[in-house]
Each structure stands twice: as C-alpha cells, then as structure tokens.
Structure 1
Amino acid sequence: MNQEKTYRVCDPERSAAMLRDEEFLEAFAACADILGSCFLFHPVKEGAARAFGMLRDIDIALDWPFGEEADRVEAACRFACGTDEFPDAMSEEFTRLIRGAGFSPAPPWGSVYMDREKVMYGRTWVLLRDWMRAHAVSGLYAENDPEDQFGRLLILAAEVARSRPDLLCELLGDHLLCWSDRFLDAFAAAAATETYRGLTLLCKATLDDVRALLAIEPAARRIYR
C-alpha cells in the first residue's frame, strides 16, 4: 500500500493537545468500549447485555460526550422505542447481521470492504495485524473473531487510548475510519430493530466527532463493497 494513501493529521497541534487530555481519552475509551461490545457480543448472553443496559439507563441526549445533540436525541429515542426488542428480536438481528453463518447485508469486517476479493482475512487484515505486532499492541479480546471486526476494533481503540494514545490517530485513521462509514451505512440500512438503528446512529456521530477533534483525515482506501 502506497505511503501517500495513509492517514494524516490536518492540525497537529490541536490533535496533540487532545491526546494529552486525559478526560477526552477516558471518555473516548469508555464510549468505544460500550459501542464495541454492542457490535461484537451477543446482545443478551454476553458482554453486550451490560453495554445495552447502560445505553438504556443513561440520558444519552445529555450525558453522552460525543456527537451532535440532534443525533444523540434521535439515538435516545430509538433506544427507548426498542426496549421490547430484547431478547428475541435482538437475538435474531445479531445472528442475521453480525454472527450468522449465512450472507450478511452488512458484514462487520474491514477486509470485506477494502480488499478486491471482498473476503475475510484479506490484505488489509494482514496490515492491521502487522501494525499491532510492530507496535506490540495486543487486544485483550481472546476469541476467534478477526482483528478487523468492527466491534473488536473499537475495543482495541479503547485500549490504545488508555495505554498508547500516541498510536490512536494512526489506528483510527489507517484501520477504522477508512471503512467505518461504509459499514455503518450498510448496517443502518439493513437493521430491522430500533435498538441497532440507534446504536448505528450513535456510533457514527461519535466517530465523526472524534475524527474532527483529533483532526484526522482517514487513509484513502478503495471500497469494493
């Protein structure tokens, strides 16, 4: 992959100041942990149950630290409307969209979007693993999902924000933000539950805000799907 296609920071001073701001870093890490768990784990049986519970219990419109107010308000409304979707509808959605064995209209793996063959474990997945190895970054998640699974990448970003903030812009710019919009648009279009629609809206608003705060211009990647 050519060097000119990697991410860049448009305002280095502003970005550096944010990366020294412990309150920002912890707020982002906490939000990324919650959002990542919801996109990675079963909404009822695993770590997402607690995360979805937190999203229902807090006042997202007032207390969520990222995103435009209008997006936070709409996301809160969707979560409130989706209360009765647990457990059955959400379990079915999780199987259909995230963890099922068949075709997914919004596959959650980066290489499916960024690799010419549109397959899991493709070249961009290899680049992410090489980056993690080069910087001695190892996610705490120990299951078999590829490292470029969307939820797993968010959880990894949370870990990096807490332990290696100097690497956060690179991780986001070169390995997540370059395909997250495409995935989230596809996921929102495919979702049949208000809960997942609200989650997608809140996640996109959060990443857009963080990208602006850190002045990140994501890597230019060709999207094949």
Structure 2
Amino acid sequence: MTRARVVLAGLAAAVALGGCGGLQAEVGAGADKTTPVKAGDARDKLKKLAVKGRAPRTGFEREKFGPAWSDVDHNGCDTRNDILKRDLKQETFKPGTHDCIVLTGVLEDPYGGKTINFKRGNDTSTAVQIDHLIPLSDAWQKGAQQWTPDKRKQFANDPLNLLAVDGPLNNQKSDSDAATWLPPRKGYRCAYIARQIDVKAKYALWVTDGEKAAMERILDTC
C-alpha cells in the first residue's frame, strides 16, 4: 500500500460516522476501517451550526473553487484518482504512474447499493463519479463565497467531502441539499447526513431551516 493510500484510508476511518446502538457507517467502499460514532454526536454538531436562508447563487462558478481535482496534498496524484484508490476495490493502475492513475476497479456504491465495474475511458469513466457530499454551489450559497480562493480549493478537494458513487445518482443529486435529495439506499442515509454535518461543522457552513429539519428527521431514525 502506498503512503498516499495509507493516509487516505486513515482519513476515511477517522471520519466514518454511524447511528445509535453502534450502527457502523461506511465512508467509502474501499476504506480499510470504519469507526462507529453515535448519532448523538452528529446532533450535537448540527445544533451548533448557524441557521440562515440560502444566499443568492450569483457569482458562482466552478472555477472559484480552483482547478478540478487539484493535487492539494502534493502526493503526485490528482484528487479524483486519490478518491478512486480509496473507495474502489481490485484496482489496476496505468503503468508508469506510480499507482496513481486508476484504470479499473470495483465500486460498491454507497448511494444505491449497486456493484459497479469501473473502467477508465471516454465512454465509461462517468459510470463512477466523485461526489461532493456538500455540493460546491450549495456551499457557495451557505458561506463559501466569503472564503479565500485557497480555502475554497481545499474544500473542493477535501477527502472528508468526497465519495466515489454511482454516476447517474450523482447527476440526479446535482447541487441538492438534504432537504431535496437523499441516497435511495436508506441504510446509508444516517452515515450520509452525519458526514454532511461533519463537513459543515469543519468549514462553518450554515444550514437552512428545511435542511436542518431534514437532517434531524434522518438522525431520529438512526
């Protein structure tokens, strides 16, 4: 296992969240370990988040969060490949890239539960996409437009906020928050909401009334 992969696996283990009664939460299918955390911890963090209305989307551009999939940790691999390595199983790599560019692998999709065979290619790569659990445009409307460009770049490439998922489901989610979209796989919703809260707490992003209510409803089922 490469040093970069060890670091990412450790991060994945550190941020895995679960529900009541020791419910185990998956961070990514390829994470080596997960750590159960009670839903009460997520509720405590949610209570501390500011509640405000959604700011206008005016001025949002993907470029405001830096080049897509930057190598922010300077390990020689871009963020997309780092997350593919973390979340996929049975990976193969492009020769000569120091196990950086993922060619194939298997994803156990956390959002829908499907097993997806990933194959890099113009017509196949989109079957597995890297989701921002807190979408960039949603973050823009809930605090990120006041950030520095460097902080936005870090946010866009933070492994805590990234997950390899089924491409069509990621497209379906688009820039929705918890009030308007949840993973169809109900068994993953507690982990999904808890991790969204973790991201918002880390970056001091606010929530709307509707978003907070939706998060609370899910946590009540954990």
TM-score (normalizing by structure 1): 0.30
TM-score (normalizing by structure 2): 0.31
Bigger strand share:
2
